Amino acid sequence: MQAVNVGATDENDQLPAEQHQGDVVEDGDQYLTFIMAHEEYGVDILCVQEIRGWEAATPIPNAPSHIKGVINLRGTIVPIVDLRQCFGLEAIEYTAVTVVIVLKVETEKGSRIMGIVVDAVSDVYSLAAAEMKSAPDLGDAVNTDYIRGLVNVDGKMVILLEIDRLLSMDDIPNLAEVSRQVLSGAADAEAQ
């Protein structure tokens, strides 16, 4: 199992993905993006502690199905969350290339470390705040608090997550549905 440290922004050249240049500016916030169910999501790279391969976790009795269990991360007990199941996506089987992103998130009870299982790590982008669009208002029915914004990178939409907020929510939303609505809302806005 390999672990890659991406704790600090200036170390991002160690990331498995190659640095994306393109039309993005250099000195914005940096985001690590990952793929789930063909959509690309981004998290603030400052939250990312490391990226690891999947390893068996010790299941926690009577835990919800998206909590895969706990692992030993250099002496600390760290829970692993399957983001697919968490978001109401269909669970897929873990393979040798399944990736766990270890995040440090701030919650009301202090900072916590947890791992999220995603389909694949995609890229690192530097994004200026100006490039980010806020999520379209989908009405009161759909809570989009945990979406920091949307950004268009090379013609595809990336949803940037407020990971702190998302992982401390009591009731984790069906992200697949929200993503679909958010993306179509954004597309409509662009078309006008």
Pick between residue 63 and residue 128 the one whose CB is nearest to another protein. Answer: 63
How far apart are CB 97 and another protein at their closest, in Å? Answer: 22
Using DSSP, state whether 74 is helix, strand or coil: coil
Pick between residue 69 and residue 88 the one whose CB is nearest to another protein. Answer: 69
Interacting residues toward another protein by CB under 8 A: 56-63, 67, 69-72, 75-79, 110, 112-114
How far apart are CB 26 and another protein at their closest, in Å? Answer: 28
CA angle 155, 123, 36 (to 5 degrees): 80
CA angle 144, 150, 156 (to 5 degrees): 130
Tokens read off for 54: 């999947």
Q: Alpha-carbon distance 159 to 91, whole Å?
A: 21
Question: Which distant-in-sequence residues (6+ apart) come within 8 Å of 137 by Cβ?
Answer: 144, 185
How far apart are CB 106 and another protein at their closest, in Å? Answer: 11
Report residue 94: phi and psi, to 5°.
-80, 140
How far apart are CB 67 and another protein at their closest, in Å? Answer: 8
Pick between residue 14 and residue 72 the one whose CB is nearest to another protein. Answer: 72
Pick between residue 86 and residue 132 the one whose CB is nearest to another protein. Answer: 86
Pick between residue 57 and residue 135 the one whose CB is nearest to another protein. Answer: 57
How far apart are CB 62 and another protein at their closest, in Å? Answer: 6
Say if CB 92 and CB 35 are below 8 A apart.
Answer: no
